[in-house]
Structure 1
Amino acid sequence: MTQSIDRRTVLKSSAAIAAAGPFAGLVAAPASARKAPRAFDLVPVPDARDGKVRLHLPKGFSYRSFHDTEATVTLNDGTTLPGRHDGMGAFEGPDGTVILVRNHEVNNPTNPFGPGTPYDARGGGGTTTIHCTPDGQVLNAFTSLNGTMMNCSGGIMPWGSWVTCEETVNGPDVGPDFTGASNVSLTKPHGFVYEVPASTDAETGQSARQPLRKAGRFAHEAVSYDPKGGHLYLTEDNFGFPSGFYRYTPPTHPRHAGKLLDGGWLHMLRVKGTFNAHLEGAQVAGTEYDVDWVEIGDPDPEFPYTPGQVAPTDNNTALTYVSSQGWAEGAAFFSRLEGQVYGKGEIFFTSTQGGGAPETGNEPNAGYGNGFGQVWAYDPKREKLRCVYQSPDKVTLDFPDNITTSHRGTLVVCEDNNEDNFIRGLSPEGQLWDIALNRLVSQLPTPGSNPPVFPTRYNDEFAGSTFSPSGETLFVNVQASRGMTFAIWGPWGRIGV
């Protein structure tokens, strides 16, 4: 997620302070990778679309960009593509093709994009579905969900659908969020997850546009599904407050239902023996915690309001309504949980600002967390939580966000910071290396510049990393108001991916 403030410049100087106080035994000094990072030189590579250099990649790799919304893009169903490309999932299409379901993280009340009856007549977010070749040539594309808000990331379901997440609690019953925009014109509550079937056909590829309400109303980021336990795991990116790691149990096992059903139970992770464990604080890589789960009694609140008037419930109260129920039972504190993926029996997820000194209170302006990022793994069979990696500094890894996993088990991590943004590889042993570097330059000159000045967009974040089912292509987005999608292919095994 991209915030409206410069998150790097507002990080507190306490990031370098050693952990102290009542949690000194729980956390330790910042830990770097267990092994030295691998070195693969990144070189300028021309885009197969038009020959312009937009990415730096290892030698031998190629890419094609598409759905570049610096110019107007119209999909096959007439949709004007809104930009803000974010989380994305890849599915097998016919004859070796690929189906992508892609989020659009549009916030604030506005008219929906695309055809079809939207969930909310004033929700500007949603998903589009793209049928393409493995090298990024678009065959068909259409709106598959509209009328939602701030669709950030999500997760791939093994029965062939994408679950998309709203990273907001906006609604007519909640006051303005961090943007200051009024919610009065909204017609439905937001802050939920929705299932979208993956299909090449615009009719069969439509979401029912019904939220899974019992999976919680909070600032969702991503989900992953454990095929053995039948649980849906959910991350929360609550920027200014402690974030939680959640588990949703559907009323019927999805293996039997063929989809996720509403009406189940929501729980929040707790570290055994430590009330409100400050996991946003510095960790030693490899540290494990025994955990259990506390139930959330009221996961999908609606707050009193008078239609047409500003709601009396402020946004911060709504943002913490669900998590505060878990905190009261001792649930763990994380910093801004974002990307998530299931791989080889574990749930991997990122903590974007984790790894510094533990917080002593909420940080609505600077972001909850003083570090440069962590990667965690949860083993549902053993019920253990493990710190896989913690960044020692902003140069090594700066604000990890969306993640995916390759066929070899390598994690592919997208950066979301305000300077150079990389895609990094991370081995299960905690070894980190570079895969790609954003080198976008705007096609549009700075207004009034003479001669024209074309600004760089190096600080536009990577998002939505997902491999094609064959593993030969990494699809990824640049998430900005003028978004873009890339298909990247090459000798992945040679660089350990």
Structure 2
Amino acid sequence: MDRRTVLRATVAGGAAAFSGSLWAGAAVAAPAQPGPSPYGALRSADANGIQLPAGFTSRVIARSRRTVTGTSYVWHDAPDGGACFTAGTGWIYVSNSEITPGGGASAVRFNADGTIASAYRILSGTNQNCAGGATPWGTWLSCEEVSRGYVYETYPQGGTAAVRRDAMGRFKHEAAACDPDRRVIYLTEDESNGCLYRFRPTNWGSLADGTLEVLVAGSATSGPVTWARVPDPSGADTLTRNQVSGAKRFNGGEGCWYADGTCWFTTKGDNRVWAYDAVNQRIDLAYDAARVSGSAPLTGVDNITGARSGDLFVAEDGGNMEICVITPDEIVAPFLRITGQSSSEICGPAFSPDGTRFYFSSQRGTSGSSSGGITYEVRGPFRS
């Protein structure tokens, strides 16, 4: 069975359900290499300054410090990590705010036809909320990217106060990805000598308590790994990443995405996309800019999400402001490029529950300031 077959997916309620073994045979596969995009070449920039393949269009959903169209809600500064959730006949896009102090997260609710129904705050009074992850039970885990930061469980539908989840550890949190098969949540750490963690809730569906573990392995980029319990998740006396001897170090953990058997995560310090095979408990490289033949199409590796087709979409923090696609055939190519915003970064890539709309933000927009963030939607013939 080839990877195109095993990576087929359906997306619903902010989580992906894949059939087959996502990383079957990948232990001996080379990292992805440049090639022609399945979507074709990028066209000239549209009215929003975005270069897209033929058949795709973009629109602006929200701008920092301006009211969201059709609402009275003012969109937050520095939009960052995001995800989509089913909401009645429509859906919700959630976005973090990577500022200190203030931070938090907001939501935009869409009607079935894609028009905006409302926008509102779901988390306030936190710091540097960077990325996070959706849970299978419909909540959004918003992560503080500060030393000894927390994870907050938020409620995209609104009307329920966010809850700080202390048991998930205190460290420079970046992203989270839920693995419903093993009933664990993977967590990345944005430090140059950071770790990959997993949290085992005592009761799946509740994050009130559980066990925090760290990945243990040698220095190799592929091979078997194990997990060890973090003695003190609070990091009160010793930082979490320094509590377990042999914990594997990753250079700037960023995005994190789980799909049937594999946790994909990125490291910005060395421009890599990793794959943790949870079935066989091993890691491998899915992409490494240093191992690309010729010019690397993907640099500034950051947030990551998956599509119904099994394609991975990886956003750049810097680079040349692209979102690149990594296909099941191990081809990496640009999917879109934002022009005129070289002092920004792309954040929060996420598909609508039906897989037909794609959301992301330019954190600092054309101004290069956190007050200039722009959140977009792209529509077009996405692969299924």
Same fold (TM over 0.5): yes
Output the CA distance in 2 between the equivalents of 1:34 and 1:400: 15
CA contact (8 A) 2:268 2:300 kept: yes
Give ranges in structure 2 of 5+ residues lacking alignment.
1-29, 365-369
1:424/1:136 CA distance change after superposition, 3 Å = farther
- CA apart distance, 1:94: 2.1
What's the CA shift string for 1:4-28, capped at 9, x where partnerless?
A: xxxxxxxxxxxxxxxxxxxxxxxxx
**Whose radius of gyration is greater, 1 or 2?**
1
RMSD (Å), alpha carbons: 2.2
Question: Which residue pairs with 2:55 in the alignment?
Answer: 60
1:490 and 2:374 are equivalent in the alignment: no
Q: Is residue 33–residue 332 contact of structure 2 (8 Å, CA) maintained in 1?
A: no
TM-score (norm 1): 0.65
Q: Indicate the residue corresponding to 2:207 in structure 1.
A: 261
Deviations 1:427-459 (A, max 9, x none): 2342101110012xxxxxxxxxxxxxxxx3233
**In structure 2, distance between residues paired with 1:146 and 1:348:** 29
SS of the residue corresponding to residue 323 of structure 1 reads helix
Q: How far apart are 1:265 and its partner, in Å?
A: 1.0
* Paired position in structure 2 for 1:316: none
Displacement of 1:379: 1.6
Where does residue 73 of structure 1 map in the other structure? 67
CA distance in 2, matches of 1:336, 1:471: 29
1:395 positional shift: 4.3
Match of 2:176 in 1: 223
Is the CA contact (8 Å cut-off) linking 1:348 and 1:375 kept in structure 2? Answer: yes
Q: Of 307, 311, 325, which residue of structure 2 is paired with 1:406? A: 307
Q: Match of 2:242?
A: 324
Partner SS, residue 125 of structure 2: strand
Deviating 4+ runs (over 6 angstroms) = 74-77
The C-alpha deviation readout for 1:348-383, integer Å capped at 9, x for no partner, is: 0011122xxxxxxxxxxxxxxxxxx11111121211
Aligned-residue sequence identity (percent) comes to 31
Q: Is the 8 A contact 1:75 1:141 kept in 2?
A: no
> What pairs up with 1:288-307 in 2 under 5 angstroms?
288-302=222-236
Kept in 2, the 8 Å contact 1:34–1:429? The answer is no
Structure 1: gaps (5+ residues): 1-30, 47-51, 110-123, 170-189, 255-259, 304-319, 355-372, 440-455
Please name the residue that 1:88 is paired with. 82
C-alpha deviation, 1:487, in angstroms: 0.9
1:54-203 aligned within 5 A: 54-69=49-64, 72-73=66-67, 79-95=73-89, 97-107=90-100, 109=101, 124-133=102-111, 137-169=115-147, 191-199=149-157, 202-203=158-159
Matched residue type, 1:194: Y
Paired letter, 1:269: L
1:245 aligns with 2:244: no
Deviations 1:269-305, CA, capped at 9 Å, x for gaps: 011xx3xx2x5xxx5xxxx3100012111111447xx
Number of residue-to-residue matches in the alignment: 345
- Superposed, which structure 2 residues align to 1:272-351 within 5 Å? 274=218, 277=219, 288-302=222-236, 321-326=239-244, 329-351=245-267
For the structure 1 residues 460 and 293, does the alpha-carbon distance in structure 2 shift closer, same or farther, using more than 3 Å as the test? same
The residue aligned with 2:25 is: none
> Deviation of residue 253 (structure 1)?
2.1
For residues 414-433 of structure 1, what are the structure 2 equivalents within 5 Å? 414-417=315-318, 419-433=319-333
1:207 paired to 2:207: no
Q: Which amino acid aligns with 1:334?
A: F
Are the equivalent residues in 2 in contact too, given 1:250–1:262 (CA < 8 A)? yes
Does 1:374 pair with 2:272?
Answer: yes
- After superposition, give the CA deviation of every residue in 1:155-202 in whole Å (9 maximum; x if it has no partner): 111111111111102xxxxxxxxxxxxxxxxxxxx6011111221xx4
Q: Which letter maps to 1:264?
A: G
In structure 2, the partner of 1:9 is none
**Taking structure 2 as the reference length, what is the TM-score of the superposition?**
0.84
Pair 1:270–1:135, CA change in 2 (3 A): farther
Q: Any conservation in 1 of the 2:62–2:69 contact (CA below 8 Å)?
A: no
